[in-house]
Amino acid sequence: MSELNQPKNMMLVVQEHRGMPTFSLIAINENCPYVECIYVPDMKQLAVISKTTKDTFHFLPRVDENGDVVQAKARKVQGRMYKEERKQIKTYYEYTLVNEDDIVSFIEMFAVNSSTFPYKNVMNPEGATKKK
């Protein structure tokens, strides 16, 4: 495979996800095509959030002219006690990398500190357990 001339514009940082130590990548300049990435240790996946947006529909709480949530007269099927309305909003594209080699390649391609940050210890912990 040919080497891509990709500028490294993200930085690896320590994170915690659901009580487990992990890492994420954060953008360090405006040219980065991603908002952030986070490694999900229990699923061994890297979630990548792109700066590219798409229009999607979501149910959001209905608000009155004062900005207060409009209460429903009866509990909804989902258990909510407020009225909802369907709104079109912009959301970011999300990608999931599941192959370990792809995750390592992505990190090495984008992270300025990939050679010094111990992210492989999080990806392959020896006897690591979830915090209680």
Closest CA to 119 of 17, 43, 23: 23
User: Which pLDDT value is given to residue 3?
Assistant: 54
Residue 95, pLDDT score? 95
Residue 110 pLDDT greater than 90, yes or no: yes
Q: How far is CA 62 from CA 66, 72, 106, in A?
A: 11, 10, 41
Q: How far apart are CA 58 and CA 84, in angstroms?
A: 10
Residue for token pair 């130590």: 21
Answer whether residue 101 shows pLDDT above 90: yes
Instruction: Express each pLDDT in 52-98 by its tens digit.
Output: 999 999 888 899 999 999 988 888 777 788 888 899 999 899 999 99
Is residue 108 within 8 Å of 119, Cβ to Cβ?
no
What is the pTM assigned to this prediction? 0.72
Residue 41 CB coordination number (10 Å): 21
Q: Residue ranges per domain, the chain?
A: 10-54+91-123
Single-letter amino acid code for the residue at 96: T
Rounded distance, CA 85 to CA 16, Å? 34
More confident residue, 80 or 123: 123
- Distance, in Å, from the CA atom of 111 to the CA atom of 7, rounded to the nearest integer, reads 9
Measured distance CA(102)–CA(89) in Å, rounded: 31
Does pLDDT of 131 surpass 50? no
The predicted structure's pLDDT at residue 10: 96
Percent of the chain with pLDDT strictly greater than 70: 92
